[in-house]
Amino acid sequence: MDNQEKSRYVKKNQDLFELINKIKLWPARSGILHGIKTIENRGNSMIITTHCGEHFVVWDSKTSRSARWLRHHWFNHACPKCHVPEWKLEKYTQTVFTDDRR
Ligand SMILES: [Zn+2]
């Protein structure tokens, strides 16, 4: 288990807002992974503003497409306009989403 040290463990059952707030990356439906500049919490939904100036309105749901994509690290490529740093992508891909429903 020594090489697990670098991994970050995130409980996957927490709210999408918490999840996104930690990871600061947004997998858009197009397969592009954006860097998040700000997240505005609106209760049931949130407004995500990316570094490249895009806005996404997202429902805070643990079972949404985006939550699933985040947990599985699904994306095609990082957004070139967001300039997501390499270390951030690496940290993200090393993040392990633990299942605490046991
Ligand atoms: Zn972007």
Model confidence pLDDT, tens digit, residues 40-66: 999 889 999 999 999 999 988 878 898
Residue in the block written with tokens 């996404």: 56
- Provide the pLDDT confidence category of residue 97 given band limits of 50, 70 and 90: confident
CA 11, CA 99: separation in Å to the nearest integer? 6
Distance 67 CA to ligand 1 centre (A): 18
Q: Where are the domains of the chain?
A: 15-94
Residue 13 has a pLDDT of 64
Extract the tokens encoding 9: 């463990």
Question: Which has the closest alpha carbon to 20: 6, 4, 41?
Answer: 41
Strand, coil or helix: what is 78?
strand
Rama region for 101: left / alpha / beta (φ>0; ψ in -120 to 50; rest): beta
Distance 82 CA to ligand 1 centre (A): 4
Tens of pLDDT, residues 61-94 = 878 898 889 989 999 999 999 999 999 999 999 9
